[in-house]
Amino acid sequence: MYSYSGKCLVVDLTTQSTRLEELSESLLSSYLGGVGLGTRLLLEKCPPGAGPLSPDNPLVFASSGLAGTMVPTASKHAVVTKSPLTGLVGDSLSSSHWSLALKRAGYDAMVITGMAPSWVYLFIDDDIVHSRKAEHLLGKGSSQTEEAIRRDAGDNRVRVASIGPGGERLVRYACISNDSSRQAGRTGTGAVMGSKRLKAIAIRGTRPISVWDLDGLQKVCSDLYARSQTSSTEKYRILGTPGNVLVLNRLSALPTRNFQQASFEGAEGISGEHLAECYLAKVTACATCPIACEHLYRVQEGPYAGLEMMLDYESLFALGPLCGISSVPAVLKAAELCDFYGIDTISTGGCIAWAMECFEKGLLTANDTQGLDLSFGNPDALVTMVERIGKREGVGDLLAEGTMRASAQLKGGSEHWAIHSKGLELPGYDPRSMKTQALGFAVGLRGGCHNRSPSYEVDMSPGVDRLKAEPGRGLLNKEKEDFAAVLDSLIICKFMRRCFDDFFAEASRLYTLATGIKMGPAGLKQVGERVNNLKKAFNIREGWTQADDWLPPRMFKDPIPSGEATGAVLSEGELRMMIDAYYKARGWTASGLIPLSKLKELGMDDVVELMKGQRNGAQVHPLRG
Amino acid sequence: MERKYIHCEVDKCTGCRICEFVCSAAKEGRFHQELSRIRVAHPTPAVVVSIACRFCENAPCIAACPKDALTMSGENNTLQLDKARCTGCGWCIEACDFGAITVDRSTKSVVMCDLCPSLPQPRCVETCPKKALSLSTSEAVAQRARDRAAAKSTES
């Protein structure tokens, strides 16, 4: 076995002890790494029914067989835990130098359990693990935390993943940031880290990585580097993901003012094209990424002059159109504050947009907002609210719980416009005008997500009527999810996906060249199905019920009012029909459960044992954990 | 022979470090960024550049070496190390303004760019996905700068 170390570092913060566990070749080749390996370790280490913010919930970091090699975009890691937003599997990816450091310190995975007696950070110096006091780091953002730790270490090879003040205060959608500008953004992994009183994980990883066939790997990678500079990645290289704004706006799929509209009159002014012309300062890349999608924008004038910030489409949509904001500097400032407090930009934007609609409808008043005019389109309100969420101050304390819990508390019909699935706020694709994506959001295993269920690609394919629901979308969504799970476990960035001519053939070859482990195209493809069944198995054990696979009321009651898809809306019947087809395509029961035979077919006999202690869904509190 | 070195166009460099990966693979047979002969510096989000030995005309590392282990010679006019003399003391590293020299603890001597003399072109230049790296002379770099300045001066 090459590239992999076969080692998992287990840190118990309660007892301040560490141990190494072996990861067998069969386990690694079944789940690869990333989301797959991480979920497998979560299922094993998480006691059934553990509270997401309890010491029992393990926080898993998973590397991969390709990380640390020259495989394009493979410098990534996954964070997997039980999500404080959904009470189900929470998995999130991040990338770059910290990912390399984890692998090069000699670990394919790291599991953190327990809760430290007082705030600490871990310093992992290859095989030596220190726990250090972190009181002096409290209140610092991720960049400041990283700077302080590196200054103390006196070595810029020390890479840091940390939580900000939002994670310290258990904002349910807090993220874990690394290398200043990368985040494991979604599902609240940072709140779990905060609940353990763990401020940061600093790693100096200095081990070389050897692969099975270096010459073979170099040939395939050089070819992929060349393909990564062609039209297959043009969108990411030239405008970056903000290039989506005008495309989705034209399709009536750009969620605006909390999904009250699906196109935004200010779209031109916040478009990728406008940003490139007026704000672009530099284009950079994650480690080992030949594409380079990171667009650094600089504000030249006004109150935020001098601000430099990277921004992708999802952050831009959530802090822009979703809140009715058309001021680029305000969006950049809000994104900077999200990074400082260490909170997910999508959920933050979703929560603020929900609150703005509550304000519009009189459910929240100036009394509740300490006099702040929380109207859609008010840039100062946006920026102020991000800070209040990060500090859990005033109404920010309510919003820090996420839209599902905040609407359950505020009531007054606000559940109607709490735009989430399973508690995870929806990303920037309107499901009413993209019906395959509607299915993907409804059944998404980590909640509403375009990355784990990237079926917007189906809707945007030639010959597909995106406004129509058909049973065939069930299988298409399954295939998109399984492909994503393979990418997320290998790990290869989604932005590379179009650079492969025959993905499963080429990627399985890359895997073998790096690890020496035999893997064919069919075997690799099956990993995707295995990983998604594993995630589903965890969810079932933790109390998933069929009612969780659904979308917010607005999607069925409020048609899109304007634009190309005027009048588009979902019917409950058509969503039910697509969900039934999806369960069938997965080989699940009509109520969405996994038959034992399916687990056996996928070689997951060991998972059956780990499913014991399954919670009775009926007894689970609706807002789990 | 005119001095050649690896030149990095800062506008094109994205800081991906693929150069570090392929250099260490070529020289060490495995991926080991610290032993790459070309290294990326990325001190602030907007500032990034790859740096390898520039084979200075009046090289401070050669002057600094207490064992006289370094010379500028060979077919490519590159920095040559007499390994038998090198003690790995690292004084050359302190003398270098570019951080282009590294101690290899396994061999107890220093390593630096040799322009891959056995290859048609240096591995990093061949691989850089953004074509930010080139094997250049100071004169060639200056010519390109003059051309850019000229183009700018005639812009309407």
A33-70 pLDDT, tens digit per residue, is 999 999 999 999 999 999 999 999 999 999 999 999 99
Please state whether A444 falls in left (phi above 0), alpha (psi between -120 and 50) or beta.
beta
Measured between alpha carbons, how far is A182 from A203 in angstroms, rounded to an integer? 16
What is residue B70's three-state secondary structure? strand
| Strand pairing report for A176-178 and A182-184 | antiparallel
The string of pLDDT tens digits covering residues A367-376 is 999 999 999 9
Count how many Cα atoms sit within 13 Å of the Cα of residue B85 in the half-sphere of its side chain. Answer: 11
Per-residue pLDDT band for A620 (boundaries 50, 70, 90) equals very low
Measured between alpha carbons, how far is A160 from A199 in angstroms, rounded to an integer? 10
pLDDT at A300: 96
Q: Residues of CATH 3.60.9.10 domain(s) within chain A?
A: 7-204
Chain B residues whose CB is inside 8 A of the A157 CB are 34
- Own/partner contacts of A453-461, CB < 8 Å, gap of 24 or more, are A453/A477, A453/A480, A453/A481, A453/A484, A454/A480, A454/A481, A454/A483, A454/A484, A454/A494, A455/A480, A455/A481, A456/A253, A456/A429, A459/A434, A459/A435, A460/A251, A460/A434
Which chain A residue has its CA at the smallest distance from B47's CA?
A: A282
Q: Is the pLDDT of residue A257 over 60?
A: yes
Q: Is the pLDDT of residue A166 over 90?
A: yes
- Cis amide leading into A325 (omega within 30): no
pLDDT at A438: 98
Per-residue pLDDT band for A426 (boundaries 50, 70, 90) equals very high
Q: Is the pLDDT of residue A458 over 60?
A: yes
Contact B14 A292 (CB under 8 A): yes
- CATH says A242-359+369-397 is which class? mainly alpha
Nearest chain A CA: its distance from B73 CA (Å)? 30
- Which member of A225, A281, A282 has the closest CB to residue B127? A225
pLDDT at A625: 44
Torsion sign across C-alpha atoms A407, A410, A416, A417: negative
Contact B14 A214 (CB under 8 A): no
Phi and psi of B144, rounded to 5°?
Answer: -65, -40
Domain A436-611 coded CATH 3.10.450.50: no
- The whole-chain average pLDDT of chain B stands at 95
Per-residue pLDDT band for A622 (boundaries 50, 70, 90) equals very low
Q: Residues of CATH 3.30.70.20 domain(s) within chain B?
A: 1-52+115-156, 55-112
Find which of A70, A157, A207 to mutate to test the B interface (most B CBs within 10 Å of its CB). Answer: A70
Which chain B residue has its CA at the smallest distance from A222's CA?
A: B127
Q: Is the pLDDT of residue A318 over 60?
A: yes
| Strand pairing report for A280-284 and A176-178 | unpaired
Chain A residues whose CB is inside 8 A of the B107 CB are none
Per-residue pLDDT band for A615 (boundaries 50, 70, 90) equals low
- CATH says A7-204 is which class? alpha beta
Q: Is the pLDDT of residue A616 over 60?
A: no
pTM of the model: 0.97
Count how many Cα atoms sit within 13 Å of the Cα of residue B73 in the half-sphere of its side chain. Answer: 7
Total CB pairs under 8 A between chain A and B? 77
- Look up residue A334 and give its two tokens: 């809000």
Say if CB A255 and CB A262 are below 8 A apart: yes
Q: Residues of CATH 1.10.569.10 domain(s) within chain A?
A: 242-359+369-397
Per-residue pLDDT band for B155 (boundaries 50, 70, 90) equals confident
Nearest chain A CA: its distance from B95 CA (Å)? 19
Measured between alpha carbons, how far is A8 from A47 in angstroms, rounded to an integer? 18
* Least confident segment among A168-177, A616-625, B46-55: A616-625
pLDDT at B156: 60
Say if CB A122 and CB A201 are below 8 A apart: yes
Say if CB B102 and CB B124 are below 8 A apart: no
- Look up residue B122 and give its two tokens: 């240096």
Which chain A residue has its CA at the smallest distance from B22's CA?
A: A70
Measured between alpha carbons, how far is A616 from A624 in angstroms, rounded to an integer? 12
Q: Which residues, including other chains, have CB under 8 Å from residue A151's CB and lie 6 or more apart?
A: none
Alpha-carbon separation of residue A118 from A199, A405, A477, A611, B7 (angstroms):
10, 29, 45, 33, 50
Phi and psi of A559, rounded to 5°?
Answer: -65, 155
Measured between alpha carbons, how far is B112 from B114 in angstroms, rounded to an integer? 6
Q: Which whole number is the average pLDDT over B7-29?
A: 97
| Strand pairing report for A120-125 and A198-204 | parallel
Chain B residues whose CB is inside 8 A of the A499 CB are none
Q: Which whole number is the average pLDDT over A189-214?
A: 98
Q: What architecture is domain B1-52+115-156?
A: 2-Layer Sandwich (3.30)
* CATH, domain range B55-112: 3.30.70.20
Partner B, chain A 274-313, Cβ-Cβ below 8 Å: 281-290, 292, 294, 296, 298, 308, 310
pLDDT at B54: 96
Which chain B residue has its CA at the smallest distance from A156's CA?
A: B43
Find which of A158, A207, A283, A291 to mutate to test the B interface (most B CBs within 10 Å of its CB). Answer: A283
Nearest chain A CA: its distance from B1 CA (Å)? 31
Per-residue pLDDT band for A348 (boundaries 50, 70, 90) equals very high
The amino acid sitting at A27 is: L
Q: Is the pLDDT of residue A619 over 50?
A: no
Per-residue pLDDT band for A466 (boundaries 50, 70, 90) equals very high
Q: Which residues, including other chains, have CB under 8 Å from residue B101's CB and lie 6 or more apart?
A: B53, B61, B92, B93, B110, B111, B112
Short-list A25, A29, A62, CA closest to A43: A62
Count how many Cα atoms sit within 13 Å of the Cα of residue A270 in the half-sphere of its side chain. Answer: 33
The string of pLDDT tens digits covering residues B57-109 is 999 999 999 999 999 988 888 999 999 999 999 999 999 999 999 999 999 99
Chain B residues whose CB is inside 8 A of the A310 CB are 45
- Which member of A70, A180, A214 has the closest CB to residue B18? A70
Q: Residues of CATH 1.10.599.10 domain(s) within chain A?
A: 436-611
Q: Is the pLDDT of residue A14 over 60?
A: yes
Contact B17 A288 (CB under 8 A): yes
The ipTM is: 0.95
Contact status of B46 with chain A (Cβ, < 8 Å): yes
